[in-house]
Amino acid sequence: MAIRNLRLDEDPILRKKSRPITDINERIKTLADDMLETMYQAEGVGLAAPQVGVLRRIITVDIGEGAYVMINPEILEQEGEVVDSEGCLSFPDVTGYVKRPKKIKVKYTDLDGEDHEIEGEDLMARCVCHEVDHLNGIVFVDKLCEPTEVNYEK
């Protein structure tokens, strides 16, 4: 496992659409391990492959209830709306309010090639939607609905 460099701010890879994963091989498993390690080291709750420079459809999520590695995640259902504050590891000094579904149902494949459908609410729904947006070349600053806060102090 290794910590990968995060792509930041205006890096053009963050605006590109990721390709589906058709073969869960050792490279994909290593990528998943590296993404988890990178996410934890950066104290994040989610990470998408484009954020580490890889245009493949894989995300990692851990909101404190255990890690998920989601390959080719697809949001099947959305319910409700909540506006809440978000940040992003690729925009380390920016937070802002974004409207997201309160509840989602997501379909994905795990590292063993097994298909799953799970429901998530609140932070889980927000996190999965945020990371799936990354896979589609959309970053949270595109969706801000309230003034952005920028923290220039490190």
For 105-154, the pLDDT digits (tens) are 999 999 999 999 999 999 999 999 999 999 999 999 999 986 566 555 44
Distance CA 68, CA 125 (A): 13
Judge whether 94 lies within some domain: yes
Judge whether 29 lies within some domain: yes
Query: Which residue range forms the structural domain that includes residue 21?
Result: 12-150
Torsion of Cα atoms, 45 then 120 then 133 then 89, to 10°: -10
Which residues are the active-site residues? 131
Per-residue pLDDT band at 1 (split at 50, 70, 90)? confident
Q: What CATH number is associated with residue 44?
A: 3.90.45.10
Distance CA 69, CA 133 (A): 16
Judge whether 74 lies within some domain: yes
Q: What percent of the chain has pLDDT over 90?
A: 92
Specify the higher pLDDT residue, 1 or 21. Answer: 21
Question: What DSSP letter does each residue of the chain carry, written as one string?
Answer: --PPPPP-TT-GGGGSPPBPP----HHHHHHHHHHHHHHHHTT-SEEEGGGGT--BSEEEE-SSS--EEEEEEEEEEEE--EEEEEEETTEEEEEEEEEE-SEEEEEEE-TTS-EEEEEEETHHHHHHHHHHHHHTT--GGGGB-S--EE----
pLDDT at position 118: 98
Judge whether 6 lies within some domain: no
Mean pLDDT over each residue of the chain, to the nearest integer: 94
Distance of CA 94 to the CA centre of its chain: 16
Instruction: Express each pLDDT in 29-38 by its tens digit.
Output: 999 999 999 9
Mean pLDDT is lowest, of 45-49, 59-63, 142-146, for 142-146
The tally of domains found in the chain comes to 1
pLDDT at position 154: 44
pLDDT at position 146: 64
Distance CA 67, CA 59 (A): 10
Judge whether 3 lies within some domain: no
Judge contact between 56 and 24, C-beta under 8 A: no
Distance CA 12, CA 68 (A): 27
pLDDT at position 136: 98
